[in-house]
Each structure stands twice: as C-alpha cells, then as structure tokens.
Amino acid sequence: MSVTADQLAEIDRLRAEMQPTRRATAPALEEILYQAWPVLDHGFVRVIDYMGDDGAVVQAARVSYGRGTRQVSEDAGLIRYLMRHRHSTPFEMCEIKFHVKLPIFVARQWIRHRTANVNEYSARYSVLDREFYLPAPGQLCAQASDNRQGRGDALSPAQSARVLGMLKADSENAYAHYEEMLNQREDGTPLDPGQDGLARELARINLSLNYYTQWYWKIDLHNLLHFLSLRVDAHAQYEIRVYAEAMLDMVKRWVPQVHAAFLEYRLGGAELSASGLRVVRRLLAGEALTQEASGMNKREWRELMTTLGRDQ
C-alpha cells in the first residue's frame, strides 16, 4: 500500500481528535475511521465520513409507515422486512464517504455507477505518482474459453514472467517519458531548466491504464449495496472485486443488521425465471424432468441445476 508519509501523519492527527456529537454514531466504524485498508499492490480504501446507522434505516421506515410500524416491535425484523420487499428509500437515508486509491482501469469500471459523488485527483492540475499496478503472478490467467469476459487457468510460470516483465518495463518507460515531457523530476525541479515542460493535461496521456489514481467517493447505503452486489459477484473482475470485498467488511462494521439482511436476501439468495420456477415446481411434485422436456435451453438449465445444488 502506498500511503504517503504526509497522509499517514494526517490520518494519525484526525484519529487522535474526538469531538462530541448529538448524531447517531457507529462505534465499530469509528474504530477504523480514516485508516487505510490495503488493496492490490499500491491501492487502499478507507472510510472518511459516514452518516446514520442501523437505527437511521428503522427511523426512516417508521416515518413512512407511521403508526403502521408499531406492530413490528423489533428493529432487526423491520430491516429484514424492508430488504426482503426491496424497499429502497429507508436505506438511502445512510451515507458513507470513502477515499480510494485504485488503478485507472478499475476506476473506469467503478465510475459507471452514476448514483454517487466523486472528486478524483486531476492529472490536469497535478502530476501523477510513479505507481502502477502489477498483478500478482497467480492472477495472470488465460482468457476463459467458456466466458467472453472471464479468466481461465493460470498461465505457465514462464509465460507469466514474460507478461509481468512487459507490463513492468512498459509502465516504467511510460513514466520516464512522462517526466521527460513534463520536464520535471518527482521533487518538482526541472530536468532541463532551459526548456518548458509539456502541459500536464497532455503529458499524462502517455501513462497506461494500470497507473493509480485516487478519489473521494460518496454514496448512500442503498446504492452502495447495489454496487457491492454487482462487484463482489464472481463474474466481476478480480481487481475491482477486492475493493468491493473490503468495503463489504466496512459495511458490516457500520450497519451490522443491514449487512446481515443483505447476505440473506441478496448475496445468498437466487433468482428464478418463470421457466425456472415451473421446473422447480415440477421437480418438487416428483416429476423426473430433463432439460429437453423443461423448455429451457442447455445453459439456463445447467445454471438452474447448479443453483439448486443438483449436479448433473
């Protein structure tokens, strides 16, 4: 992880200060507030601020349903009810702000989620750090043969080493030329005092997609859970999934009851299509159904059988 010395000092300073507040607090999240959680080789994610807790979800629901919620005596039960019935607005009443350092190609996937607020480090204003992502050797996998966008088996050690060598050499070369175009060393002094430097907004275009950027990213809990459900999924690219997994742990510290309901009704559950539901009903009725007789195509049938735990 590449937190700078300045950043570490700032984190320590912020963590040392405690203020009194009348707002709801989430003590388990306060414990790790501001701390950087390492992800990939130079990245991190850390919580900078938050608003609300499990109680805020309940409180919002009770405003909506008025006297109607007096029946539900217990908060955890109400949260489960809201999650189960896909009520979204009470979960929007909590907000969280992260500081994330991440490779640009990950940032490009991430930013597609539009319902968030973002302040990204601008390479028009400032010079990017010499930090680029190199996959761990075990992550260097072949293109999956059965999936247009996934990874298959690991490459051979020799091939893996060659790939890493190319990535490393090209990244270093790109940065050396970036500095040369800027006519500026890392400490800000010019390489050649007799020359101008190329505008930063242009020099940066020589850097590759594995260079790190960073941003503040703020989102409400409902949209965060949606983001996480897509990005902790096995089909998400590994390099974004590791961020999502770290953030899911932070959600557990923040709103443990919402986290539990999310596992029960989203991550651990399953969706059946109309055809899939008909198949389940017929199987439960004792029919010895085959794919051919089911009306489903082979791929959907296979996925359904996997969901149902019936190996073929």
Q: Which stretch binds its own copies (CB under 8 A): 38-46, 55-63, 249-257?
A: 55-63
When asked if residue 252 is in the footprint of its own copies (CB under 8 A), the reply is: no
- At 44, which helix (H) or strand (E)? strand 43-51
Contacts by 200-204, CB closer than 8 A, 24 or more apart: 200/123, 200/124, 200/125, 200/126, 200/127, 201/123, 201/124, 203/178, 204/123, 204/124, 204/128, 204/178
Residue of 206, 241, 252, 256 interacting with its own copies (CB under 8 A): 206
When asked if residue 270 is in the footprint of its own copies (CB under 8 A), the reply is: yes
Cα–Cα dist 276/53, whole Å: 37
When asked if residue 138 is in the footprint of its own copies (CB under 8 A), the reply is: no
Is 204 annotated in the active site? no
| Total site size for its own copies, rule CB under 8 A | 130
Cα–Cα dist 201/222, whole Å: 36
Q: Which stretch binds its own copies (CB under 8 A): 20-28, 36-44, 242-250, 251-259?
A: 20-28
When asked if residue 259 is in the footprint of its own copies (CB under 8 A), the reply is: no
When asked if residue 43 is in the footprint of its own copies (CB under 8 A), the reply is: no
List the interface residues with its own copies, window 291-310 (CB under 8 A).
Answer: 300, 307-310
Q: Which is catalytic among the residues 46, 200, 204, 231?
A: 231
Task: Identify whether the C-beta of residue 169 lies closer than 8 Å to the C-beta of residue 156.
Answer: no
Q: Between 8 and 202, whose beta carbon lies closer to its own copies?
A: 202
When asked if residue 108 is in the footprint of its own copies (CB under 8 A), the reply is: yes
Q: How far is the CB of 157 from its own copies (least distance, A)?
A: 13
Which three-class secondary structure state does DSSP give residue 306? helix
DSSP letter, residue 266: I
Q: Between 22 and 290, whose beta carbon lies closer to its own copies?
A: 22
Q: How many residues does the chain have?
A: 312
The edge-to-edge listing of strands for the beta sheet with 212-220 is 37-39, 43-51, 95-103, 212-220, 117-120
When asked if residue 56 is in the footprint of its own copies (CB under 8 A), the reply is: yes
Which three-class secondary structure state does DSSP give residue 152? strand
Q: Which stretch binds its own copies (CB under 8 A): 19-27, 36-44, 245-253?
A: 19-27
Considering only CA atoms, which of 261, 265, 268, 264 is closest in space to residue 233?
268
Cα–Cα dist 207/174, whole Å: 6
When asked if residue 55 is in the footprint of its own copies (CB under 8 A), the reply is: no
Q: Between 38 and 116, whose beta carbon lies closer to its own copies?
A: 116
Q: How far is CA 77 from CA 54, 82, 186, in A?
A: 12, 9, 55
List the interface residues with its own copies, window 160-199 (CB under 8 A).
Answer: 163, 166-167, 170-171, 173-174, 177, 180-182, 195-199
List the interface residues with its own copies, window 65-94 (CB under 8 A).
Answer: 65-69, 71, 84, 89-90, 92-93
Cα–Cα dist 200/204, whole Å: 6
Q: Which stretch binds its own copies (CB under 8 A): 23-31, 36-44, 241-249, 250-258?
A: 23-31
List the interface residues with its own copies, window 111-130 (CB under 8 A).
Answer: 111-112, 114-115, 117-122, 124-127
Which residues belong to the active site? 231
